[in-house]
Structure formats: C-alpha cells, structure tokens
Amino acid sequence: MGEQQATSSGADGGGPTWRWWRRRRYVVVLLAFLGFFNVYALRVNLSVAIVAMTANRTVVSENGTLEYEQEFAWDSKMQGLLLSAFFWGYLVTQIPGGWLAARVGGNRLFGFGLAATALLTLLTPPLARAGAYWLLALRVAEGLFEGVTFPCMHAVWARWAPPLERSRMTAIAFSGSYVGTVVAMPVCGLLANTVGWPSIFYVFGALCLAWFAVWWAVVAESPEKDPRIQPDELKYLQEVLGPDHSHKKISHPWKKFLTSMPVWAIVVAHFCENWGFYTLLTQLPSFMKDTLHFDLKQAGFMSGLPYLAMAIVLQIAGQLADVLRERRILTTTQVRRLFNCGAFLGQTVFMLLATALPSPAAVVACLTAAVGCGAFALAGYGVNHLDIAPQHASVLMGLSNTVATLPGIISPTVTGFLVQHHSAEEWKSVFYISSGIYLVGVIVYGLFASGEVQSWAEPQPQPQLEMRAYDNRAMDER
C-alpha cells in the first residue's frame, strides 16, 4: 500500500470521480464534514455569546431613571478563563481518545463525544446564571467530550481513506470546522441581538443532536462492516488499505513515538498553527469590537470571513496535495514540507501587516488571508500522521493535539492579561507573539518532517504467515 496505488477513478466501480455519492467512503466524508461543523459551532458559540452576556444594557431603576448594568460583570481575566476552560478538558482526552478509537473504532466514539457535548451545551444558560464557576466547570466537561473527536477521525481515515485520497478526504471533512465557524459566528450574533444569548446554545445543541442520530445510523466502523457498500468499492479499499484488522489488539511503540523527529515535527507544527488559530477563534469578536469599533452583529459576521476563506482554500489545498503526489511531481515529504512551511510564512506576513495597517477593511483582509493560509498547513501536518504511521495515526493525532491544545488554554489567558485597556497597542502584542511562534514552526517542520512510513510503524508480519514461511523453508531444505 502506498503512493504506487492508482486513484479511485473507476477502479472501485463507482464510475467517474465526480459521482461521489456512489462511493460509500464519501458518504462518510460528508457526514464527517457535518460532524466537524458541529464540533466548532459548539466550541465557538461562547466567543460570541460572551460579548452579549457582558455588554451594558439599559434598565429602568425603581425611581424611573435609566441605568446601565451588565448581566454578567466579568472582567477580562474572568472572560479569558471562561474562554480557555474548554481546552482544559479538551487536553485530557486526546491521547485516551486516540488509544480507545484504535481499539473500538473511531466512528462510535466520535458520535458519542459530540452528542454529550451537545447535551451540555443545552445546559449552558441555567448554569451560567448559577455562577461563573458553574459555567467554568461545564466548559471543562464539554472539552473532555470533544477531546476525542479529532483522534477518532484519524482512526476512521485509517480504515476508510485510500493513501492517495487522504489529503482531499481529510480536507473536505475538516473544512466542516471552518464552515461551522463561518455560520456560527454571524448566526450567534444575530440570535443574541434578536432572541437573546441563551438561544445560541439551544439552537446549536439541538442541531448537533439531530446530526448524531444520522451519523449513528449510517456510518460503520470499517468498509467490511458496512452493509450498504458496493462490492467493487469494498474490494478496492481492501486492496489499497489491506484487510480490516480492527478486531486485533494494536501495540503502540510509545518510546518510538517520543524519540521520532518526524513525530515531533508534526507536534510542533500543530502547536504553532493552533496558537494563531485559537487566538483568532476566541478573541476575534472582541478585537473587532475594541479596535475596529464593530457592533456585536458586525463583529460576528466579519469574524466569520477568515474561516470562510479557510474552508474554500482547504478544498484547493487538499486536491492539489494529492494531485502533486499522484502525478509524482513531488514526493509526499516535499508536499508536506512545502505546504506547511509556506503556510506559516504567509501567516507570519499577514499577521504583521494586520498590526500596521490603519484601515479596518485592510485589517480584516489580512486576518482573512492569514487564516486562509492555514489551509495549506492542514494539508501538511494535518494528515502527516497517516503518512508516517497509518495504524497508529489516531494515537499520534491524540499526542499532537494534546500539545496543540495548550495554546487554547494559554493564548486566551495571555490575551486577557495583555489586553487590559482594550487598546490597539495591546492587541498588537497579541499578534506579534503569534507571528514569532509561526516562524518557529517553519524551522522545525522544514528540518524534520517526513512523508514516509517510519520503520517502527511498518505492519508486523502475522504469526501464521511466519510459521508458514518457516515450514516452507524446512520443506525446501529436505
């Protein structure tokens, strides 16, 4: 299995490649796209809602005068803690989620993690009113359940994604995250302004539960266990991926993971990308309100633009990465390094430009370009786990996403301490830090990344086959 395999153009009996609905693996991709839509819609909702929850509102006092008050009088430090609390839980379940997904299958665990997060989302308004620390605990719990999602999906790809389709399949599915962000930010702003901030959590919680019902009914653990897959497609997937070994216990070489430089290249790149991404994801509405003077509705809409660019560019990056590999224009290693390092350099430039330009439109354009560049990084490090160790990919994703979750905890907290007076100068410091971190990622990933299966990740020969080979040698000697 590897890059020598042909693409699926007719080889799996599905006809032309554009007829994706005839291929069961792309039904999985579509539902995964909608799943990641919900992952980020549930994650980002508080970033917009907290602006409405802490905004000044006009009330009539007992003597008939107009007064201003906040429903939740949280200072910037408390808001930073609330926005980072999700990632405290998210950090804990990355590696356990990947380990469990390799054994029980990623599809069920993925669905369960999202369904539990949706139920907790429905409880957000009453717990927020009960006190800030109740909301803090709830966001930690949401992070615990969502923490399994990305590692689980790598376990799904290991059983459903042919090697030369991995970039495009993961690109389509993961772009749901950014579409979810694009839709959630303006819709959250609209709901907060028209219905009230609690509706944000009720609408997106219910939407995720509806998706869960479909996912649970449709998506099987592997092609062999899908009763609706066509025989030709099943045969094709077995040829390029090998038989389903999900029933076997997988032994993970933990020491090899921790001493492998290609693994650490992925980990560092994942950390660097997430630092900039989470900074914008959690702080962009507040930044636009403070420095660009947008109201809540405008901030929600404009904050979604960078993620719309990400969703669009990700499709191009995923397709281009696979085309370059299929046609042998570049090796997998070259594709991963070029896409990842080029993206980080672009993000550095656009982040720095955003701090220097005076026009709100120019700042939004630069931040949109910076986030859009991240799509090429995802076609680099984001799928690299499957290149270097397919059967261990879910655990490696858990490992890298554990480290990459730290920015979600640190970045909002650092921003809360830096941005005390909500001035443009304070916000510049936030972007300078992100730019420097991207440059570190360029150096480390450019030097140590690999697209080849590592020696410690080669499939081990089955004992039965070893015994058969021994018997044959014995017969020959006689």
Residue with tokens 């025989």: 231
Tell me the average pLDDT across 403-423.
Answer: 80
- Judge whether residue 330 has pLDDT over 90: yes
Angstrom distance (rounded) from CA 182 to CA 412 = 20
Cα dihedral across residues 265, 267, 269, 271: positive or negative: negative
Dist. CA 441–CA 344, nearest whole Å: 7
Higher-confidence residue: 463 or 317? 317
Q: In degrees rounded to 5, what are phi and psi of residue 23?
A: -110, 120
Q: What is the pLDDT of residue 423?
A: 74
Residue 389: both structure tokens together:
């160790």
Tokens of residue 221, six digits = 């653990």
Domains of the chain: which residue ranges? 27-222+253-458
Q: How far apart are CA 281 and CA 42, in angstroms?
A: 12
Angstrom distance (rounded) from CA 413 to CA 421: 15
Chain segment 267-325, per-residue pLDDT in tens = 999 999 999 887 876 666 667 666 666 665 555 566 667 778 888 898 899 989 999 99
- pLDDT tops 90 at residue 345: yes
Task: Give the contacts of 10 (CB within 8 A, at least 6 positions apart).
Answer: 16
Q: How far apart are CA 282 and CA 303, in angstroms?
A: 10
Q: Compute the average pLDDT of residues 152-157.
A: 89
pTM, 2 dp: 0.77
State mean pLDDT over 123-138: 92
In sequence order, what are the beta bridge partners of 289?
Answer: none
Higher pLDDT pick, 221 / 21: 221
CA terminus-to-terminus distance, the chain: 35
User: What confidence tens digit (pLDDT) does each residue in 178-214 have?
Assistant: 888 888 878 888 898 889 899 999 999 999 999 999 9
Could you count the other beta carbons within 10 Å of the beta carbon of residue 67? 12
Q: What is the pLDDT of residue 8?
A: 43
Give, as one character, the DSSP assignment of residue 165.
G
Tokens 């939004």 belong to which residue?
364
Give yes or no for residue 10 having a pLDDT over 60. no
Residue 169 has pLDDT above 80, yes or no: yes
**In the CATH scheme, what is the homologous superfamily, with its name and number, of domain 27-222+253-458?**
MFS general substrate transporter like domains (1.20.1250.20)
Q: Output the average pLDDT for the chain.
A: 82
Q: Which of 66-70, 248-252, 353-357 has the highest mean pLDDT?
A: 353-357
- 3-class DSSP state for residue 56? strand
* pLDDT on residue 185: 79
Q: Say what the pLDDT of residue 413 is.
A: 77
Contact residues for 47 (Cβ-Cβ < 8 A; gap 6+): 83, 185, 281, 282, 283, 284, 285
- Give Cα separations from 464 to 76, 248, 252, 430, 470 (angstroms): 63, 14, 21, 58, 10
pLDDT tier at 352, thresholds 50, 70, 90: confident
Comparison of pLDDT for 389 and 478, the residue scoring more: 389
Tokens of 346: 């672009």
The pLDDT score that the predictor gives to residue 66 is 53
Residue 477 confidence class, pLDDT cut points 50, 70, 90? very low
Averaged pLDDT, 115-137: 93
Contact 473, 286 (CB under 8 A): no
Determine the Cα–Cα distance for residues 189 and 342; give it in Å rounded to an integer. 34
Q: Across residues 376-402, what is the average pLDDT?
A: 91
Query: What does the pLDDT look like over 431-452, one tens digit per residue?
Result: 889 889 999 999 999 999 999 9
Side chain identity at residue 49, one-letter code: A
Closest-CA residue to 152 (of 208, 205, 92, 96): 96
Q: Which of 141-155, 270-284, 341-355 has the lowest mean pLDDT?
A: 270-284
Question: In the prediction, which pLDDT does 461 show?
Answer: 52
288 phi, psi to nearest 5 deg:
-70, -35
The whole-number pLDDT of residue 466 equals 39
- What confidence score (pLDDT) does residue 58 get? 56
> How many residues are given for the chain?
478
